[in-house]
Amino acid sequence: MSEKQGKHIAIYGKGGIGKSTTTSNISAALAEAGYRVIQVGCDPKSDSTTILRGGNDLPTVLDTLREQSKVRLEDISAVGFGGVLCIEAGGPVPGVGCAGRGINAAVELLQDLKVFEEYKPDFVLYDVLGDVVCGGFAVPIRDGIADRAFVVTSSDFMAVFAANNLFKAINKYAPSGGARLGGVIANSIQASYSKALIHDFAEESGVPVIGYVPRSITVAQSELYGKTVIEALPESEQAEVYRKLARYIDENNDSVIPKPLNGPELKKWARKWGDRIFEVETGVVQKMEAI
């Protein structure tokens, strides 16, 4: 690949876990700090950058490539909040083809159009679906596109399960030039055990948690306006949480190769937390702090 412009970061996680919300708020916070940012949505849902663009439609790379032979950057991008350049890779025609194809197509097109050389971004954020780490979805971490990956998870077991699978993919590709893991972003924290559970899972896997994002009504409110929290409620505590994540990604370059849990280890770990939460709920343990 030609010389890379800026830091390229992939944000992975289970569908619906808050990747796009978190990524868009990080992009907005980086833009607010004066950086040039590109956000590439790599989810067939194609709604990664919606809240950076006031909720307006944006043609996806795959749809545009299907319709016209020559594609210009203006056809597949929009400038959002703070000048963030927004791109949606898109997905296959439902029921046909591989969902990961959009990512390949988008990355190839951006390279052909020399977008990175011309736009000179400080940051490129790839927002990638991580339920199934098929070849296509692994492209950003596999082929030297992203330098670092971050994984968003909540304390729900299915989200932790997906995070563990992502650790497996990173663990597989990192030694041969793939992305390393920057850390875990804990999202939707509300119950007292959530923080402790995610912290424990991350520790078991040898990875840092780089921030805890509370479940907050400010996110829902801002989303209804088609905005990030950074734009809609810049003075809120939630906006400050996202700024802190952005500062971490900007100032810290640490990364690790995660140690994913194998099947029996994950089952044992889950059982342990089942017992702990059950004890809290039934009053055997009064306070989560006791854990």
One-letter identity of residue 129: L
The answer to whether 38 and 115 have CB atoms below 8 angstroms apart is yes
Q: Is 57 a catalytic residue?
A: no
Closest CA to 187 of 152, 141, 223, 238: 152
Comparing CB distances to ligand ADP, the nearer of 47 and 279 is 47
Catalytic site includes residue 131: yes
Note whether 188 binds Mg ion by CB under 5 A.
no
165 binds Mg ion (CB under 5 A): no
Q: Which residue is nearest to Mg ion (CB)?
A: 20
Closest to 187 (Cα-Cα) out of 34, 25, 1: 25
Can you say whether the dihedral through the CA atoms of 231, 236, 240, 241 is positive or negative? negative
- 147 flagged as catalytic: no
Residue 39 binds Mg ion (CB under 5 A):
no
38: CB partners within 8 A, 6+ apart: 84, 85, 86, 87, 115, 116, 119, 121, 123, 124, 125
Candidates 43, 127, 131, 147; catalytic one: 131
Residues near ligand ADP, by CB under 6 A: 13, 15-21, 187-188, 213, 215-216, 219-220, 223
Residue from 20, 25, 77, 187 in contact with Mg ion (CB under 5 A)? 20
Comparing CB distances to ligand ADP, the nearer of 115 and 232 is 232
Work out what residue 188 binds among Mg ion, ligand ADP, none; the CB cut-off runs from 5 to 8 Å by kind: ligand ADP
CB under 5 A: which stretch of 18-26, 60-68, 75-83, 260-268 binds Mg ion?
Answer: 18-26
The one catalytic residue in 7, 14, 147, 227 is 14
List Cα–Cα distances, 280 to 64, 277, 286, 290, in angstroms: 53, 5, 6, 9
Q: Is 244 a catalytic residue?
A: no
Find which of Mg ion, ligand ADP, none residue 16 binds, CB within 5 to 8 Å per kind: ligand ADP
